[in-house]
Amino acid sequence: MSRSRRDVLAEATARLREAGVASPEHDAAELLAHVLGTTRGRLVLVDAVDQPALDEYAVLVTRRAGREPLQHLTGSAWFRHVELAVGPGVFVPRPETELLAGWAVERATELVDGGSAPVVVDLCTGSGAIAKAVADEVPQAVVHAVELDEAAHRWAVRNLAGTGVDLRQGDLATAFDDLAGEVDVVTCNPPYIPLDAWESVAPEARDHDPHLALFSGDDGLDAMRVLERRAALLLRPGGVVGAEHADVQGESAPAVFAATGRWTEVRDHPDLAGRARFVTARLAR
């Protein structure tokens, strides 16, 4: 027995929408493409879905309706130009973070154009997304990354294999003492959700992403304060740091850097929706 692709997608989309999934049409199509071993764009070439595929698809749609992350069900996520393996135990990279990675790529490329091999450190690397993107787009860069959580570190090992990235397991507060004063660019997507904001977090993140990657003290800025101190130690004079934050921290996150007197050019940057998204600063010379 088989069913038409249109009917299958329509039914799955309706179910995901009823479950509160933010992008039901997209997710229904991605899951069907995954089951059929094709791409979402090529689904139009599929007229009918046979019973074995229908059975597999029904299981995945049920799990997505239960708010398991789409990327956990497909096992992968695209980030800029690289594909990442993801699953339980690691933070799923968000499209917004691609902007921070792009900023890091631009700063590193400027140094390459100036005749040097930039040293880049990615703290709280998680899946290795930013580190892998920088290594991919700026092959002249010497890239280092660190992750504290054991499960997330295992995913980073898998994703960064063969990239040349120096991956370590450890705490951002103490990582890379051996690179003190030698780093050109520091990036970080730290935890930044206040502890009392638990109920406001989407189930996909709250119930499936590691809490170590989500929550950071009463105001969500504990990790940002640690990052500020560590970046000041790692960077050479004139080096730069970029860090993602919550959209409500467009003033408070930059203030962490501005208050210390160690930084110049402290600026906040919006995401594609115009929401405050990441802060950058340059270490004073």
Instruction: For residue 153, give the nearest of 105, 231, 210 by alpha carbon.
Output: 210
pLDDT surpasses 70 at 144: yes
Topology, domain 87-283: Rossmann fold (3.40.50)
Whether 125 and 156 have beta carbons less than 8 Å apart is answered as yes
Considering the chain, what is the average pLDDT of its residues? 90
Average pLDDT over residues 54-78: 92
CA 41 – CA 159 distance, rounded (Å): 25
- In SS3 terms, the chain reads as CEEEHHHHHHHHHHHHHHCCCCCHHHHHHHHHHHHHCCCHHHHHHCCEEEHHHHHHHHHHHHHHHCCCCHHHHHCEEEECCEEEECCCCCCCCCCCHHHHHHHHHHHHHHHHHCCCCCEEEEECCCCCHHHHHHHHHCCCCEEEEEECCHHHHHHHHHHHCCCCCEEEECCCCCCCHHHCCCEEEEEECCCCECHHHHHHCCHHHHCCCCHHHCECCCCCCHHHHHHHHHHHHHEEEEEEEEEECCHHHCCHHHHHHHCCCCEEEEEEEECCCCCEEEEEEEECC
> Does the structure show a pLDDT above 50 at 21?
yes
**Between 191 and 141, where is the model more confident?**
141
Q: Is the pLDDT of residue 99 over 50?
A: yes
pLDDT in tens, 34-48: 999 999 999 988 989
Q: Could you tell me the pTM of the whole model?
A: 0.86
Top-confidence residue, 130 or 219: 130
Would you state the pLDDT for residue 191?
78
Which range, of 117-126, 245-254, 255-264, averages the lowest pLDDT? Answer: 245-254
* Whole-angstrom distance, CA of residue 179 vs CA of residue 119: 9
Give residue 206's pLDDT. 52
Question: Where are the chain's structural domains?
Answer: 2-66, 87-283
Tell me, what amino acid is at 238? Answer: G
- Taking CA atoms, 18 is separated from 12, 25, 65, 112, 203, in Å, by 10, 12, 8, 50, 15
Per-residue model confidence (pLDDT) at position 198: 44
Q: Do 121 and 180 form a contact (C-beta atoms < 8 A)? A: no
Does the pLDDT of residue 67 top 80, yes or no?
yes
Tokens representing 195 are 């502890």
Beta-bridge mates of residue 244: 278
Report, as an integer, the average pLDDT of 221-248.
Answer: 94
Tell me the average pLDDT across 123-129: 96
Please state, for a pLDDT cut of 90, what percent of the chain lies above it.
79
CATH number of 2-66: 1.10.8.10
